[in-house]
Amino acid sequence: MKIAISGKGGVGKTTMAANLAKLFRNEGFNVYAVDADPDSSLGLALGISEDRLKEIRPVIEMKELMDQQTGGGAIYTLNPAVDHIIDEYSIQLDGIRFLRMGGVKQGGSACYCRENTFLRALVNSLILDNKDIVILDMGAGIEHLTRGTSGGVDLMIVVTEPGRASIQTARIVENLARELGIKDIRFIANKVRTDKEETFIREHFTGKELLGIQRYDEVISDKAMGFGQTPGEADSAELKDLLTRIVHRTHS
């Protein structure tokens, strides 16, 4: 099963992705955590040191490997064989295998056609059996969806905050995800501080759409800023309860 975490920048996607990876790992799943957001720090949130993260070369920057697998000319194969890359270009920490997809190009540079072909093939190969879970921490907003790199995802979780701009982005992500053929799309409201904000969220999402509401937690906020990552456990009991429902969905 492949689960993508998306949403507007700063809503807490990486926190959700890291904690979900930990919970699946603790349930005995083989977890692949994929950092597909060039601005995120999924590796840090999982407890991987900065020094070790620097040793991982982003997949998207492997030009020679990409050309070898997709063809180096104007015409390139749409189904490159990439299975071996998973083992060669990832690191393992406490039962979670971590990969970095890589960053965005500079303004005015060439298109992403070849890179996206490669990334889609890599993501699609990241599944072996029923005990394998792939968690993708996607880029902020809708960039990754307009490029189609989320194709083949089984569940899209869109994280939002109690604000109109964040909810608008969440709905745009939902619509684009449906165009890509992703049928199971759910929402998590994060950083909710007041009853008024909770009411606002419930006015904009149905009970079926909403996986849960996470109240603002200063401890989680501190961890998101780089203080006290916990590779072994979820960041809070409340967050664990919320995300455990997602874990249990895979057993049903």
pLDDT of the residue at 8: 84
pLDDT of the residue at 85: 67
Dump pLDDT digits (tens) for 84-143.
667 777 888 888 989 887 654 444 444 555 556 666 666 666 655 667 888 988 876 666
CA atoms in the 13 A half-sphere facing the CB of 155: 19
Read off the pTM: 0.80
In the chain, how many domains are there?
1
pLDDT of the residue at 107: 41
Q: How many residues does the chain have?
A: 252
CATH code at position 179: 3.40.50.300
Structural contact between residues 141 and 28, judged by C-beta atoms closer than 8 angstroms = no
Q: Any bridge partners for residue 95, and if so which?
A: none
Mean pLDDT of 205-214: 93
Q: Which domain holds residue 225?
A: 2-249
Mean residue pLDDT of the chain comes to 77
Least confident interval from 15-24, 36-45, 174-183? 36-45
Q: Does the pLDDT of residue 39 top 50, yes or no?
A: yes
The rounded radius of gyration (Å) of the Cα atoms in the chain is: 18
Burial class (CB in 10 A: 0-12, 13-18, 19+), 68: exposed
pLDDT of the residue at 171: 94
Q: Does the pLDDT of residue 63 top 70, yes or no?
A: no
